[in-house]
Each structure stands twice: as structure tokens, then as C-alpha cells.
Amino acid sequence: MQLSLSRHEKSVINEWRKFGVLRDIENHCLDQANGAILITCSDADQFAEVFQHQCGMQTVHRPHPRIHVFGWHGGPLACAPCSPVNKRKHAHSVFLDQISDARALKDIHAVASRAHAPCGAARMNHIEIEQEMALHMRAKQQIKTLNQGIVVAPFFDVDYGDGRKRTYFVSRESWEAWAEQNGIPSIA
Ligand SMILES: [Zn+2]
């Protein structure tokens, strides 16, 4: 089933764009010279484009794409402790272990962490878009804490539903400022 953005999600995404939470991507921002660990939602209607886009981002860094992929329902949302997308309380630790192992196995120290909207896994678990972003940021923090020196770049893929799909970089600073202004937790 193809999902569409709710009116609320559209308006929040609009605000995030205006506020600078969601920014246009500059390919050089995440150094992917040795490849990237990609954390993405498994979503069958989005994955091919997500993967192609990730390959495209690497063209400025290396001759061939080198992507170590983890596709889970909700993508990075599954890496946040006690995340509502996981049926088992400690499932996040399995995902986090896999990321650490990938780093050791492949000598890749750049993580592209991509959440998206509309996300079926988020909907299924009644996660509003604001909480989704808070979980996304929590996952980033958790991955960084467990893997010293690793670089985690958070992205947000939006399917506007009119054939328009866009990928944005998430500014943590702007997100925190927006969350504070709106009285909601910036991290879940
Ligand atoms: Zn999803």
C-alpha cells in the first residue's frame, strides 16, 4: 500500500524547510571516500530510489559506490533504545551491534542514516512525525556514543506523493531549536 503524507505531516515538513531543519544536500558534506554504512527503512516503494540516491552521493568521493546496507522497518528509528518500532525491548542493541561490526569488517567510518515520510513502520506504531525525528536524533547519538570517531549524517527522505521525492540533510542544531520553540522533546 502506497502511503501519502497527512496534512499535519505536510505542514510540519514545510515548517522544517523554512526553519532550516531540513536542508538541501551538499554531496561533499559526508566524506564517503571509503564508502558508507547506509541505514534505511526497508520500504519496498522507496528503497530502490534511496539506494540509487546514495550511490549518486558517492560519485564526488569515489569511482564506484561502496555501500554497506542495513534495511530495517523504520531504518534508524529501530536503533533508538526502546523504540516503538521494535516489538522486543532490546532489539535496538542487535541493530547497534551490527553497525559496529560493519565498521570493523569494512573499515567504513561514515554512516548515512536515512529516515523518511510517510513511513509505514512509523504509522503502524503511531509515531508522529515529530517523535520520528526525535527517534532519528536519538539513533544518531547512540551510534556515535558506541563507535568513537564515527561520523553519522542524518537524512530525511520525503515522498510528496505527486511524483516528487526529495532528500534533505537534517540539521541537528536547527532541529533542537525548533523542538524547543515548539515545546517538544528533541530526542527520544
Ligand atoms: Zn518506512
Quick one: DSSP state of residue 33?
A: T
pLDDT of residue 28: 67
C-alpha torsion angle, residues 151, 172, 3, 81 (rounded to 10): 70
pLDDT of residue 2: 82
d(CA 156, ligand 1 centre) in Å: 11
| Residue type (1 letter), 118 | P
Q: State how far the Cα of 103 lies from the Cα of 174, in Å rounded to an integer.
A: 29
Q: Which residues of the chain have pLDDT under 50?
A: none
Does the 7-181 domain belong in CATH 3.40.1050?
Answer: yes
Q: Where are the domains of the chain?
A: 7-181
Give me the residues near ligand 1 (ion), CB cutoff below 5 Å: 41, 43, 119, 121
d(CA 53, ligand 1 centre) in Å: 16
C-alpha cell at 31: 566524506
d(CA 75, ligand 1 centre) in Å: 7
- The number of C-alpha atoms within 13 Å of 46 and in the hemisphere containing its C-beta is 33
pTM for this predicted structure: 0.96
Question: Tens digits of per-residue pLDDT, 30-85?
Answer: 999 999 999 999 999 999 999 999 999 999 999 999 999 999 999 999 999 999 99
Q: State how far the Cα of 79 lies from the Cα of 96, in Å rounded to an integer.
A: 6
Question: Which residues make beta-bridge pairs with 113?
Answer: 39, 154
